[in-house]
Amino acid sequence: MKVGLIRCLQAEDMCPGTTDFKVIKEKKCAFEGVKGEIEIIGFVSCGGCPGKKAVTRAAEMVKRGADTIVLCSCITKGNPIGFPCPHAEKMKEAIQKKIGDIKIIDYTH
Ligand code: SF4
């Protein structure tokens, strides 16, 4: 699996993404049961509200080899302060629409 991760720009001040990298390395949470190596193609932010840049950034990561786009838990669950992104669903839909047949995982841990 080759993953391109997208995180919340607002969460960057609070989180360096440590748990995302840990669960990928240990194949836990969203990555449980994944066979073979998990390669990280990129770890980018949504670009800031309302998250439009996530679409082109996801496309760029696919161009560079990602077969799966992952929306980190800061977006969909609001980690670490319990404040999910109000644009998460729209962002996911727009990525799917732009890229087409791509697997999207909507949390990390
Ligand atoms: S659009 Fe959502 S994910 Fe992006 S910075 Fe704003 S709240 Fe965070």
Task: Report the alpha-carbon distance of residue 39 to residue 58 in Å, rounded.
Answer: 15
Q: What is the pLDDT of residues 20-67, one digit of tens each?
A: 999 999 999 999 999 999 999 999 999 999 999 999 999 999 999 999
Look up the pTM and report it. 0.96
**Burial letters 61-76, b for 16+ CB under 10 A, else e:** bbeeebebbbbbbbbb
- Distance, CA 83 to ligand 1 centroid (Å)? 10
Query: Average pLDDT in the 71-99 region?
Result: 97
Q: Where are the alpha helices (DSSP H) in 1-109?
A: 18-25, 53-63, 73-76, 88-99
Give 81's contacts (C-beta < 8 A, 6+ positions apart). 14
Residues 59 and 23: beta-carbon distance below 8 Å: no
- Ligand 1 centroid–CA 50 distance in Å is 6
Confidence (pLDDT) at 101: 87
Substitution site in 5, 7, 9, 45 for ligand 1 pocket (most atoms within 8 Å of beta carbon): 9
What distance in angstroms lies between residue 63's CA and the mean position of ligand 1's atoms?
A: 23
What class is the 2-105 domain? Answer: alpha beta
Residue bearing tokens 């960057």:
12
User: Residue ranges of the domains in the chain?
Assistant: 2-105
What pLDDT was estimated at residue 66? 98
